[in-house]
Structure 1
Amino acid sequence: MSQNKRSSLGRGLSALMADLQPEETAVSREGTEMVPTEQIAPNPDQPRRVFDQAALSELADSIRSRGVIQPLIVRRHPDDTNIYQIVAGERRWRASQMAQVHELPVIIRDFSDAEMLEVAIIENIQRADLNAIDEAASYKQLMTRFGHTQEKLAEALGKSRSHIANLLRLLNLPDQVQEWVREEKLSAGHARALVTADNATAIARRIIEKDLSVREVESLMREKTSKPTKPRADSEKDADTRALEGDLTATLKMRVQIKHSGNDGGQMTITYRDLEQLDRLCQILAGSN
């Protein structure tokens, strides 16, 4: 498996993206082959486990009237050369079976097991109806299993790095909250507002029960995280401490507060305005900026 993984990384994510998006169209099918539907098998490692039946029915109706416009990407089955495994296009294959189409246009690629899984994850990310949690899980899988960085993913997938970083933080939410996002009871905006909450599940339940908007949740979180000010706190600090706070605040462009605890140390608090600022702070602390 390690050899396959090295092969996948060696080709690079951009190369796999190119293989996933062939130039062939419905008008020009050069490079495609027609393969009997029964000789095509799904990818056993397909990341997408749930297929919306209503959407499949609509696609099947379209296929009955117009045929399969975009060829499937397949590879020869490693254990049976008469069978083709789907790399990209399982929805089209399933809908074609519903439409009783007996053969399908395919483009055959030479993918290793690792590359096949990698491309399947990429195709999953590109689905328009993918929820935020499953999208984040796909990014994490690409990073942990294949060693891709956020920067590489952003470049290859046409996403901003902050988009990927912000979605990855949703995976820190409690399992129940993540499940509500998958079920579309909570939006991605709701979930982002809950990332730093200590009682995210309770707040999420309140959001659902009261049908709160994202703006209302953000306002609620600001109220919960705001702390009573102590008028005398700054006046009790010496001039050097206040100057250091000012310098750090100017450098980070985020409010910095320092509280000494005698000779035993103290605390430094950095207040960020939003997730974009948190992302920038993480880069600074990691030494990447």
Structure 2
Amino acid sequence: MTKRKSLNDITYRETGLQKVPISMIVLGAFQPRQYFDSEKIDDLATTIKKHGILEPLIVRWIPESNKYELIAGERRYRAAKEAQLDSVPIIVKELTDVEALEVALLDNIQREDLNPLEETLGILQLLEIRLGESSQQNVVSLLYKLHNEQKKKSTHNVVGKSQQDVINTVFNELGQIKVKSFIQHRLPLLTLPEDILEPLKKGKIAYTKAKVIAKIKNLSQRNTLLEQAISQNLSLTQIKNKINLLQPSGEKIKPTLKQKGSELFKRLNSSQIWEHPQKQTQLDKLLQQLEALLEEEK
């Protein structure tokens, strides 16, 4: 398995630690984080007033503006401004646009600062630059074509090997999520209705729950369940049960294969079937088949 790249692995040329006036720093174009919790910024500002900024901001020098562009550490930057600091510690790196985005993504992902939607958009932005595409939508289309090819739905390769290599390299470097999982579970977030996207952006609800609630067509019912899911911290199972109560007979949400498997293994663990001599051969055969399927995933 490819080890996730860390900020320490990035060896771009940099200066040593220094302090500069906060007025010399401008927000960067490559900030994957879109939502900043005001209460958390307030708390961080209070800490900074007492102890200062313990970890320097990562910036790059922009000669034409005579300013430093912020690459990583926007929460600390915002809190420092709120704490009315005159200067902040920085490390200056010589970064291309691609490298700047990579550093920003790694910084946020490693801190688990990004919600799933922000992470998805950030990864798409990185792919857009690496692939030399002109828009995010082109990248999304390319990923779906790749997914269809891998499922052998396409009769010929429409995604070139060099493009596949770039895509695989990006996900290997980030090490956070696999390409297949990203396409199946993260890209659908881009098409969620706005009323679902808003709390998702703010980290108020898990994306797995958001996707299920989004299936409710009736806006009033959807908003009611969304509020309940957030205020009562409903589990995914509880949400699905409530949705089933809203559906006409025959339109119940069917459990996924993964859910069926999980339930089946729970029953197997508490079952006495393992003690039946007559069933040992059949059980062994089924286990070998499952093992073979798992080997295919490696």
TM-score computed with the length of structure 2 as normaliser:
0.57
Distance 1:185 1:88, change over 3 A: closer
- Map residues 83-122 of structure 1 onto 2, 5 A cutoff: 83-122=67-106
Instruction: Give the distance between the partners of 1:163 and 1:209, measured in 2 at CA.
Output: 28
Distance 1:201 1:137, change over 3 A: farther
Match of 1:215? 237
Q: Secondary structure at the match of 1:128?
A: coil
Match of 1:170? 189
Match of 2:141? none
Distance 1:53 1:227, change over 3 A: closer
Once the two structures are TM-superposed, the CA of residue 79 in structure 1 deviates from its matched residue by 0.5
Q: Count the aligned residue pairs.
A: 217
Distance 1:132 1:44, change over 3 A: closer
Does residue 136 in structure 1 map to residue 136 in structure 2? no
Once the two structures are TM-superposed, the CA of residue 87 in structure 1 deviates from its matched residue by 1.1
Does residue 180 in structure 1 map to residue 180 in structure 2? no
Once the two structures are TM-superposed, the CA of residue 76 in structure 1 deviates from its matched residue by 0.8
Q: Is the 8 A contact 1:40 1:86 kept in 2?
A: yes
Structure showing greater radius of gyration is 1
Instruction: Give the distance between the partners of 2:128 and 2:8, measured in 1 at CA.
Output: 19
Q: Is the 8 A contact 2:62 2:68 kept in 1?
A: yes
Instruction: Give the distance between the partners of 1:173 and 1:17, measured in 2 at CA.
Output: 36
Does residue 157 in structure 1 map to residue 174 in structure 2? yes
Instruction: Give the distance between the partners of 1:140 and 1:226, measured in 2 at CA.
Output: 40
Query: 48, 59, 63: which one pairs with 1:63?
Result: 48
Once the two structures are TM-superposed, the CA of residue 215 in structure 1 deviates from its matched residue by 0.9
Instruction: Give the distance between the partners of 2:105 and 2:128, measured in 1 at CA.
Output: 13
**Identity of matched residues, %:** 29
In structure 2, the gaps of 5 or more residues are 132-164, 262-296
Once the two structures are TM-superposed, the CA of residue 100 in structure 1 deviates from its matched residue by 3.0
Instruction: Give the distance between the partners of 2:11 and 2:243, measured in 1 at CA.
Output: 42
Match of 2:37? 52
Q: Secondary structure at the match of 2:46?
A: helix
Once the two structures are TM-superposed, the CA of residue 49 in structure 1 deviates from its matched residue by 4.1
Instruction: Give the distance between the partners of 1:102 and 1:126, measured in 2 at CA.
Output: 28
Q: Is the 8 A contact 2:17 2:91 kept in 1?
A: yes
Instruction: Give the distance between the partners of 1:183 and 1:110, measured in 2 at CA.
Output: 32
Q: Is the 8 A contact 2:216 2:222 kept in 1?
A: no
Structure with the greater relative contact order (CA < 8 A, sep ≥ 6): 1 or 2? 2
Q: Is the 8 A contact 2:33 2:114 kept in 1?
A: no
Name the one with the larger strand percent. 1
Instruction: Give the distance between the partners of 1:142 and 1:200, measured in 2 at CA.
Output: 36
Distance 1:220 1:153, change over 3 A: farther
TM-score computed with the length of structure 1 as normaliser:
0.58
Query: 10, 16, 19: which one pairs with 2:10?
Result: 19
Q: Is the 8 A contact 2:59 2:91 kept in 1?
A: yes
Match of 1:5? none
